[in-house]
Each structure stands twice: as structure tokens, then as C-alpha cells.
Amino acid sequence: MGHDKLSAMAPTALDGVRILDLTSEMGHYCGKLLADLGADVIKVEPPGGEPSRARAPFWNGEPGRETSLRFWYFNANKRSATVDLGQFDGRWLFGQLVKTADIVIEAWTAAERSELAEHGVDPDAYMEAQPSLIWVSITGFGLDGPKSGWQVTDLIAQAASGIATLAGYPDGSPMRIAGNQAYIVAGISAAQGALLALLQAEATGRGQRVETSMQEALSICQETAHLQWDFQGTSRQRIGEQHRIPGIGTYKTRDGYIYSMVGIPGFGAPWSALVEWMEEEGQAEDLTDPPYAETFASLNMRMLMDPEEQAKFASIFARVQDVLTRFYASKTSMELYEQGQSRRLLLGQVATPADIGDSKHLAAREWWLEFDQPTKLGSDDAHLRFPGPPYRMSATPTSIRRPAPQIGEHNQEVWVDEVGIPAEDLIAFAGEGAV
């Protein structure tokens, strides 16, 4: 699936679906997923460009509206048309554009949503005129309820969904998961909703409103915390590395870290396979002696989870931890990962972006996509090695058909050729700043 150039040959799953994407970073993953699946996604942005165009990281570290790697990643395959929804003419133009769309995606704040509705940018009104329209709202807390008017960011959503409290060290603060995961998960949830509504609309002719609450969508990542509360009336706490017996946890290696999950019954090769490996390398020291070997041959869930039970084995665990720490520290993360996995030991490299970028596995799978991305005026195109898709579909492969758009790059084709605004009118609209 490697791409030397942009491709547009294969059929796509969302052929013929037209989507208006009014979001910035809070919602742009939804439109990316749908655009990569073949939908015609038009970014509808204010004339100066939407805010995530100014977000780091930047190409060559140069800040600018046409150099954001973050923007490029989330907006490849989309087209850009500008319109000022703060102006009467802009709102009229937008109304004309909505008539050509199947799905609208927005991530407005509650205040923006009600102000726009007062000025006629009103989902219910559009949907009444156009019953098959699907209107997707990506929100922090939902469209109703006491917090529906609250401000949200990735950090706030992670805090409000019960997951930040589980991440980090017990003696430190709750932690945010990297990568704006609240925006990612909201985007995935909204894409599911949009597609469910599309299946329904294509079967019945009726569109509907779709609503994602970041708090709710992320809250399922609490794992068992809420379930434990329901059954036992206790709140799970972040544990960092507490109560980890030897073989389980994050260890320093020669060049980084390895995550080790050896010894849980039923998960990969048993502890003895790890000691065998250490022995072959001449690094098992005394771990083959009966007290150590026997303790680890009889590991059970109580020893894994119950601090009191673990206390009984404190001296044995301390010695084993010592030897194992030395063993892991003597090899690189990749050596441990590959050699351990070849022995069916559950080890995982704590990968940095460079490790992923240089991964021979991902390279062999031709995951990365290569294409040229235009940058700011007067600069050469950026040749990008671009992260690939989350899934491979055999009949309707996803692809990069076009790089991320520059601000208003497709104004002419969208407004004039597709919406039917006379070219001279568009010039007038541009003159007054409506596009």
C-alpha cells in the first residue's frame, strides 16, 4: 500500500457523500476518518483560517498558517472553503452550501451554537428544509444537562471522564494521556454516529442529529473503575509502579525502557521461560535456586494483586527484582522486545516517536504514506512520510488523495462551480470579507 504519489483509483466506501467540516482541533479527527474513507469533506473555515492551523508542531519548526504538521495530519484529503459566519452574506452563502451536503460536523461551544442559531445558522431549520441532512455536534459535555455550557479542552475532558485520576504516580498529580486523546476519541465516536445516521438516512431518507459528549465517550476508558465502584463502593486509584511484582512493570534498558508483563498465568510464556533466557545469557545468577524458582512457578492472582500476600515474599521479590533489573539494563529495548517475544514473553518496547518512525515492522507493512505537501508561498513542497491509516480495507482501501488544503484553496470550485455562485458575486463577497 505504499504511495509514491497521490492516488484516486480504487472505489471508496464513502463515494458520493459530501460533508461540511466546521471544526477545529476538537473535532477534526472525525472528518479525517470520513475523508480518508472517500467522503468529499469540505473544511468550512473563517477567512483567516481555523485556529488549529497555528498549532505546533510546525514544518522545519517554522510557525505559520500553512506549516502546521498537526493541521496537515488531521486535514489531508479535505478541501477548504472560507466563509465568515459572523456576516449576513457569509451566513447566506453557508446556507447555500448546506443544501449540497449530506452531513455537517461542528464542534461549537454552546454559546456559539445558540448565537449562530439566533442568526439563522440553525441545524433544526436546515434539517426541516432538507430532511435527509445529518448534523453532528461534537461537544465536551453534550447538548443538554447542567454542564452543556461548559468550556472544554482535552485536559478538561480527561479530568471529567474519570481517566486522568487513574494515570500517573500515587504521590504525584493525576495525568493526562498524550495525543489529545479526548479529541481523538470524540472524533471516533462522532464518526461512528455519522455513519450510523448515514446508513439510516440512506435507507429511509431521514437524517437526524448526532451528538458526541467527550466526557461520555472517554469515560468508557475508565476500564473497571466505575464497575468496581458499583460492586464494591471503592474508587480505583492510580498506582504508578506500586504493588508490582518482579517481571511486571517498566524497566530501564541500555537505551530506553521496556514494559514487561511476565508471570501472569495465561498471558504468554511463564516466568521460567524468562529465567531460562537469562540463564542462556549467563545472567540468571541464583534465580534458578529453589526459593526463587518455586515461588515464581506458583505465581497466582493473589500474589499479583494483594499487597499483604506480596509482603510475605518481600525478600525473595527484592532479590529477583535486582537480578532482573540488571538483565534488562544490559540489553537494548529492541533486543529485549524481539528476543523476548520470540520466546512468547509478553514484552513491549517503550517506543519513542523515532522508534515508531524507524520500525522495520511498520516499514515492511508499508504503513507510511509518502506525498508532497505544499507549504507557505515561495517555499518548496514538504515531502512527507505520513502516518498511515488505522485499518486496511480490502475492497475500499483508504488513501491520501490530496494533501491538506491551504486557506480557501477551493473557494472557486466550491462556491462557483459547485454551489453556483456567479464568479463576479464571489469577488464581491470576497471584497466585503464574507469569503
Helical H segments across 330-359, by residue range: 333-342, 353-357
Residues 329-348 within binding reach of other proteins (CB under 8 A) = 337-338, 341, 344, 346-348
Q: Rounded CA gap, 34 and 188, in Å?
A: 10
- The reply to whether 213 sits near other proteins by the rule CB under 8 A is yes
Cβ atoms of 414 and 429 closer than 8 Å: no
Sheet strands (E) in 204-273: 209-213, 248-252, 257-261
Q: Which three cell numbers stand for residue 431?
A: 471584497
Q: Considering the complex, what minimum distance in angstroms separates the CB of residue 431 from other proteins?
A: 30
- The reply to whether 238 sits near other proteins by the rule CB under 8 A is yes
- The reply to whether 10 sits near other proteins by the rule CB under 8 A is no
Q: Rounded CA gap, 139 and 51, in Å?
A: 17
Q: Considering the complex, what minimum distance in angstroms separates the CB of residue 430 from other proteins?
A: 28
- The reply to whether 381 sits near other proteins by the rule CB under 8 A is no
178 CA to centre of own chain: 10
Q: Which residue's CB is nearer to other proteins, number 205 or number 431?
A: 205
Among 8, 125, 297, 356, binds other proteins (CB under 8 A): 356
* SS3 assignment, position 202: helix
Q: Which stretch binds other proteins (CB under 8 A): 2-10, 83-91, 222-230, 404-412?
A: 222-230
DSSP H or E run through 94: helix 88-98
Residues 119-158 within binding reach of other proteins (CB under 8 A) = 141-142, 144-153, 155-158
Alpha-carbon distances of 218 from 34, 187, 208, 435, rounded to whole Å: 20, 11, 23, 36
- The reply to whether 69 sits near other proteins by the rule CB under 8 A is yes
∠ CA 164-137-144, rounded to 5°: 75
- The reply to whether 174 sits near other proteins by the rule CB under 8 A is yes
* SS3 assignment, position 223: coil
Residues 13-32 within binding reach of other proteins (CB under 8 A) = 13-15
Q: Rounded CA gap, 318 and 208, in Å?
A: 60
- The reply to whether 288 sits near other proteins by the rule CB under 8 A is no
Q: Rounded CA gap, 349 and 353, in Å?
A: 12
Among 4, 5, 9, 11, binds other proteins (CB under 8 A): 11
- The reply to whether 72 sits near other proteins by the rule CB under 8 A is yes
Q: Which residue's CB is nearer to other proteins, number 62 or number 425?
A: 62
- The reply to whether 374 sits near other proteins by the rule CB under 8 A is no
Q: Considering the complex, what minimum distance in angstroms separates the CB of residue 68 from other proteins?
A: 9
- The reply to whether 184 sits near other proteins by the rule CB under 8 A is yes
The interaxial angle of helices 333-342 and 271-280, nearest 10 deg, is 120
Of 247, 260, 249, 242, give the one whose Cα is nearest residue 306.
242
- The reply to whether 196 sits near other proteins by the rule CB under 8 A is yes
Among 26, 121, 210, 414, binds other proteins (CB under 8 A): 210
Among 311, 314, 377, 395, binds other proteins (CB under 8 A): 395
Q: Which residue's CB is nearer to other proteins, number 52 or number 411?
A: 52
